[in-house]
Amino acid sequence: MVRTYWFVPGFNEASGNLDLQPFARIDHVEACRPRARCICKCTRRVLAGQARGYGRRTMTAAETTDKTYDAIVLGAGPAGEVAAGRLADGGWKVAIVERDLVGGECSYYACMPSKALLRPADVLAEARRVPGVPVGADARLDPAAVLARRDQVIHGEDDSGQLPWLEERGIDLFRGEGRFVGPGRVAVGDEELTSSRAAIVATGSGALMPPIDGLDSVRAWNNRDATTAKRVPASMIVLGGGPVGSELAQAWASLGTKVTLVEGGPHLLGRDEPFAGEEVAAALRGRFGVDVRVGDLVESVRAGGAGVIAELKDGGAVEGEEILVAVGRKPHTDGLGLDAIGVEPDEHGFLTVDDRMRVGGAAALYAIGDVNGRALFTHVGKYQAWIVAENLLGRPVEAIAEGLGSPRVTFTDPQVAAVGKTLQQAEEAGIDVHLVEVPTDGSPGASFQGKGTGGRSRLVVDRAKDTIVGATFTGFETADFLQAATIAILAEVPRARLRHAVAPYPTRSEVWLKLLEKWEAGAG
Ligand SMILES: Cc1cc2nc3c(=O)[nH]c(=O)nc-3n(C[C@H](O)[C@H](O)[C@H](O)COP(=O)(O)OP(=O)(O)OC[C@H]3O[C@@H](n4cnc5c(N)ncnc54)[C@H](O)[C@@H]3O)c2cc1C
């Protein structure tokens, strides 16, 4: 197979190394406006000798017109991009189809903007806790600056910065809605692409809008509205106290919005240990002034009051200028043409896959990322992309991470970082477990973040094996504690061995030393 590589002066002809960075992006951006057919436009300009700084290596006439690919990837979110990149690096001819922005939900409307909105409050809280930093108790965030920084992080919803990565790998990008018109055949607008070896569905998910009376009569916000809003609403109702609802409630409250959060379950973050949700609820109430209502349901919604009024099941009503719906995700499988390939999604619209991400066990159709519903996180989507690429490139491997309990972080303050099984999940799985718990801020290293960061660190220990099957860390910036727990769970490292993994002094990683000491003491 002949591949085409565009390169800038300095390209290593001898080694054929394509990893030249940074790419000469200015020419590229000139040539490829977002939402245009990027690669084809570039190709035409280079062939016409117009693109400054680009050279042409090899190309056959057939290649410019042939729409047959080894693999077609539908959706250029994190999962799709990684799959396409790995296959292209492995020598495959790859097309990727994207109807919106390359980078997907995560880059522009989910992970990245939400973290950009949350981070300033963390910094302010830490600065307030540490004497000597000249931040008074009445210091407030500057909302305009926070929103401007958020816009930088999401590149003003412009994906041109992502395109060179595809180009360097010779991946053809097709802009538009992709849909199957037959096995291995994908239509994008009036073009038809053919995959000779694999089609990979990575179309992600969007906000689930529940059938609440009146909800469609008000202009309810979804995650896209809530992560890209250009002004700070005076008040907001947040429906749903999972990670998305909790994070966005905190983010907007930190900027001055009066937030009411309504969660139907008994506590926030229902998939995590109950104490985690309780700590987050307490912080939202106490530090961010959020009116958190757990165990209640919004029954109906109508326009009125400050903007929207929501009637609650337990009686009474709450109102807000905006209402944000964060009650779950709906996979993007509608309109994918699944009928044409004889595939039926499950009752919620997800594509069921096996541990190699094959749909229906067929070797030519895969689904990765949110659309398969196994664990809706960017890191899991990228992991699944690796699984698919390895299998397609002849290195068979099966996914095991989701079965053990994928790592997950809710970036509120306190942060909630968890991996593996909760106590309840372990018990339901029939594992005889005991708990090891210490305060997260109990190590000398923690004192540098200031007094009163609080939090709890819990290990769920398999009594028979003396290994960890679950871990949860709450407190200030606990996310980075997680990888050690992930490795310990995956490798089933017994306590006696783990005791030799020495944490440096004085770091907050010594929470592990505290946990091991407690674990040892309990083991007698
Ligand atoms: C507010 C919020 C915060 C989050 N924060 C985190 C976090 O901190 N960490 C984390 O791990 N996860 C987080 N997530 C989850 C994370 O965003 C998703 O798990 C991740 O984006 C899934 O990646 P994906 O590639 O499967 O799908 P997506 O990112 O949804 O990308 C799918 C792409 O496919 C495109 N597409 C859909 N249908 C078609 C079609 N027919 N043809 C062509 N293109 C199509 C879409 O336009 C989209 O670009 C968050 C989610 C939300 C809502």
CA of 515 to the centre of ligand 1 (A): 35
184 in the same domain as 82: yes
Residue 467 per-residue DSSP state = E
Alpha-carbon distance of 47 to 50, in angstroms, equals 8
**111 CB near ligand 1 (under 6 Å):** yes
Place of tokens 């970036």: 411
Query: Which of 259, 294, 327 represents a domain boundary (last residue)?
Result: 327
Instruction: Give a yes or no: residue 253 inside a domain.
Output: yes
Q: Which domain covers residue 346, as residue numbers? A: 1-103+159-208+328-404
Residue 345 per-residue DSSP state = -
CA of 193 to the centre of ligand 1 (A): 24
Q: What are the φ and ψ backbone dihedral angles of 56, each rounded to 5 degrees?
A: -120, 135
CA of 110 to the centre of ligand 1 (A): 7
CA of 384 to the centre of ligand 1 (A): 14
Looking at residue 58, its pLDDT comes to: 37
Query: Which of 327, 347, 380 represents a domain boundary (last residue)?
Result: 327
519 in the same domain as 423: yes
* CATH number of the CATH domain containing 228: 3.50.50.60
Atom 2 in ligand 1: residue holding the nearest Cα? 110
What share of residues in the chain are helix, strand, coil (percent, to 5)? 35, 25, 40
Instruction: Give a yes or no: residue 409 inside a domain.
Output: no
Q: 439, 391, 394: which is closest to 414 by C-alpha?
A: 439
**112 CB near ligand 1 (under 6 Å):** no
Report the nearest atom of ligand 1 relative to the CA of 408.
Answer: 11
268 in the same domain as 127: no
302 in the same domain as 226: yes
CA of 328 to the centre of ligand 1 (A): 13
Residue 115 per-residue DSSP state = H
Instruction: Give a yes or no: residue 172 inside a domain.
Output: yes
* CATH number of the CATH domain containing 453: 3.30.390.30
Query: Which of 275, 292, 327 represents a domain boundary (last residue)?
Result: 327
**345 CB near ligand 1 (under 6 Å):** no
CA of 104 to the centre of ligand 1 (A): 5
As beta bridge partners, residue 365 has: 199
Alpha-carbon distance of 205 to 224, in angstroms, equals 12
Alpha-carbon distance of 318 to 209, in angstroms, equals 19
Looking at residue 96, its pLDDT comes to: 98
Q: 518, 179, 440: which is closest to 332 by C-alpha?
A: 179
**204 CB near ligand 1 (under 6 Å):** yes
200 in the same domain as 85: yes
245 in the same domain as 225: yes
Atom 47 in ligand 1: residue holding the nearest Cα? 100
173 in the same domain as 51: yes
**72 CB near ligand 1 (under 6 Å):** no
455 CB contacts (<8 Å, ≥6 apart)? 279, 414, 439, 440, 441, 473, 474, 475, 476, 478
**99 CB near ligand 1 (under 6 Å):** yes
Looking at residue 162, its pLDDT comes to: 94
CA angle 509, 458, 329 (to 5 degrees): 100
CA of 106 to the centre of ligand 1 (A): 5
- Evaluate the omega torsion of the peptide bond into residue 22 and state whether it is cis, within 30 degrees of 0: yes
225 in the same domain as 289: yes
| CA dihedral over 479, 480, 486, 489, signed as positive or negative | negative
Mutate to test the pocket of ligand 1, among 35, 74, 105 (most ligand atoms within 8 A of CB): 105
165 in the same domain as 46: yes
pLDDT tens track of the chain, all 524 residues?
Answer: 323 333 222 233 333 333 322 233 333 333 333 333 333 333 333 333 333 333 333 344 455 468 999 999 999 999 999 999 999 999 999 999 999 999 999 999 999 999 999 999 999 999 999 999 999 888 999 999 999 999 999 999 999 999 999 999 999 999 999 999 999 999 999 999 999 999 999 999 999 999 999 999 999 999 999 999 999 999 999 999 999 999 999 999 999 999 999 999 999 999 999 999 999 999 999 999 999 999 999 999 999 999 999 999 999 999 999 999 999 999 999 999 999 999 999 999 999 999 999 998 777 999 999 999 999 999 999 999 999 999 999 999 999 999 999 999 999 999 999 999 999 999 999 999 999 999 999 999 999 888 889 999 999 999 999 999 999 999 999 999 999 999 999 999 999 999 999 999 999 999 999 999 999 998 75
**205 CB near ligand 1 (under 6 Å):** yes
- Evaluate the omega torsion of the peptide bond into residue 414 and state whether it is cis, within 30 degrees of 0: yes
Looking at residue 524, its pLDDT comes to: 52
**370 CB near ligand 1 (under 6 Å):** yes
CA of 108 to the centre of ligand 1 (A): 9
Q: What are the φ and ψ backbone dihedral angles of 198, each rounded to 5 degrees?
A: -160, 145
CA of 109 to the centre of ligand 1 (A): 8
**357 CB near ligand 1 (under 6 Å):** no
Instruction: Give a yes or no: residue 266 inside a domain.
Output: yes
Residue type present at position 512: W
- Total tally of structural domains belonging to the chain: 4
310 in the same domain as 266: yes
Instruction: Give a yes or no: residue 56 inside a domain.
Output: yes
169 in the same domain as 53: yes
Instruction: Give a yes or no: residue 339 inside a domain.
Output: yes
**114 CB near ligand 1 (under 6 Å):** yes
425 in the same domain as 512: yes
Instruction: Give a yes or no: residue 76 inside a domain.
Output: yes
Atom 9 in ligand 1: residue holding the nearest Cα? 111
CA of 305 to the centre of ligand 1 (A): 34
Element (H, E) at 388: helix 378-392
**80 CB near ligand 1 (under 6 Å):** yes
